[in-house]
Amino acid sequence: MNEAAAPPDRCPRCGGAFVCGIGQPGPCACSTLTLSPALQARLRQDYSGCLCLACLRGLAAAEVVAAKGPG
């Protein structure tokens, strides 16, 4: 099934529609992100499905900012 024919998923975080690439022949777009083991564990605990790429990018960026701390 190509991306255009795939039914949209709903991101459990933002509610936005997206197409998860897990069932596609190529790698999923989320595989281009690097998420820390702690963030991955938190996402598995908080959400039962895949998140959209925008949410994953935002969470990853927020984690980087938080790790740098104030200043």
Domain coordinates of the chain in residue numbers? 9-68
CA 31 remoteness from chain centre: 9
Structure confidence by residue, pLDDT tens digits, 33-62 = 999 999 999 999 999 889 999 999 999 999
* pLDDT band per the 50, 70, 90 thresholds, residue 2: very low
d(CA 62, CA 39): 10
Ramachandran region, residue 12 (left: φ > 0; alpha: ψ -120 to 50; beta: rest): alpha
Q: Number of helices and strands (H, E) in the chain?
A: 2, 2
